[in-house]
């Protein structure tokens, strides 16, 4: 059975969607950089081992990442899933796990990297917004994109209403991608996404649609 580790910083709703998806693997641990993260209790209530490594206790980003990497390696995971993990990772950390490190980001990358993505989307006036799952590389929110889901932006949206619709899509696509990886159908090959069994798609989506 393959093993995976999930990293969180807060609420952990993406973590819950992963844990509840019946993935073909064992979640060896949920690790948070914030001891107060609500997601830790949600993981523990599902019988998953949890660990908090408070980043505020470390003098440098390198020292924190070294401890975090050692804790992850203890579980010898096949896959590491960032699920609302709000720390920028050092290049060393990313290289150590490259090819088995995934992230979910609440925008249609490469648009709107960083934080406050829903406000960024509203300010930019885009008609479509969404989320992306990608392999993590040293470029912040810049690794090869595996899957995306889009939602239309409504005229009366604020960051909260838009974010809620995006989050529902996050909960759909992240477990799907994790399953592909754990099934051995998804790999990073020469810096590109290799997805076995991917079929061609056709057609287009127009937003808005006017009768
Ligand atoms: C999610 O929307 C996730 O995509 C985002 O934080 C939220 C965490 O919610 N992640 C990032 O912005 C990473 N750059 P959750 O804790 O309920 O999963």
Q: How far apart are CA 27 and CA 22, in angstroms?
A: 10
Angstrom distances, CA of residue 120 to CA of 87, 114, 127: 20, 10, 12
Measured between alpha carbons, how far is 151 from 154 in angstroms, rounded to an integer?
Answer: 9
At 209 the pLDDT is 87
105 assigned to active site: yes
Count of other CB atoms within 10 angstroms of residue 126: 18
Please, which residues have CB within 8 angstroms of residue 108's CB and are 6 or more apart in sequence?
A: 128, 129, 130, 131, 132, 148, 150
1-97 and 106-131+147-211: identical CATH topology:
yes
Supply the pLDDT for residue 78: 98
Q: Which atom of ligand 1 is nearest to the CA of 13?
A: 17
Q: Is the CB of 32 under 6 A from ligand 1?
A: no
Q: Give the Å distance between the CA of 211 and the centre of ligand 1.
A: 36
Classified as helix, coil or strand, 209 is: coil
> What are the beta bridge partners of residue 176?
none
**Residue 1: predicted pLDDT:** 93
Q: Residue 125's beta-bridge partner residues?
A: none
Identify the pLDDT of residue 131: 98
> Domain limits of the chain?
1-97, 106-131+147-211
Q: What is the pLDDT of residue 138?
A: 95
| 101 phi and psi angles, rounded to 5 deg | -125, 115
- Which residues have a Cβ under 8 Å from the Cβ of 18 and sit 6 or more positions away? 6, 27, 81, 83, 174, 175, 178
Name the superfamily (CATH) of residues 1-97: Formyl transferase, N-terminal domain (3.40.50.170)
Active-site residue among 55, 75, 105, 134?
Answer: 105
| Domain 106-131+147-211 CATH assignment equals 3.40.50.170 | yes
pTM of this prediction exceeds 0.95:
yes
pLDDT profile of the chain (211 residues), mean per 10 = 98 98 98 98 98 98 98 98 97 97 98 98 98 97 98 97 98 98 98 95 90 84
């Amino acid at each position: 059975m393959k093993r995976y580790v999930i990293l969180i910083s807060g609420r952990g709703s993406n973590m819950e969607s992963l844990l509840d998806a019946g993935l073909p693997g064992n979640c060896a641990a949920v690790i948070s950089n914030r001891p107060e993260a609500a997601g830790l209790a949600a993981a523990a209530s599902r019988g998953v081992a949890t660990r908090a490594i408070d980043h505020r206790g470390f003098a440098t980003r390198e020292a924190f990442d070294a401890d975090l990497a050692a804790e992850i390696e203890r579980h010898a995971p096949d896959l590491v899933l960032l699920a609302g993990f709000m720390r920028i990772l050092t290049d060393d950390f990313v290289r150590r796990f490259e090819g088995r490190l995934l992230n979910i980001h609440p925008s249609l990358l490469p648009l709107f990297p960083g934080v406050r993505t829903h406000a960024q989307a509203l300010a930019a006036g885009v008609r479509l917004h969404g989320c992306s799952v990608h392999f993590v590389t040293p470029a912040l929110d810049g690794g090869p994109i595996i899957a995306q889901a889009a939602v239309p932006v409504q005229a009366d949206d604020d960051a909260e209403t838009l974010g809620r619709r995006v989050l529902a899509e996050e909960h759909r696509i992240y477990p799907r991608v994790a399953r592909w990886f754990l099934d051995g159908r998804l790999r990073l090959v020469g810096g590109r996404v290799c997805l076995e069994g991917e079929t061609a798609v056709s057609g287009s989506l127009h937003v808005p649609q006017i009768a």
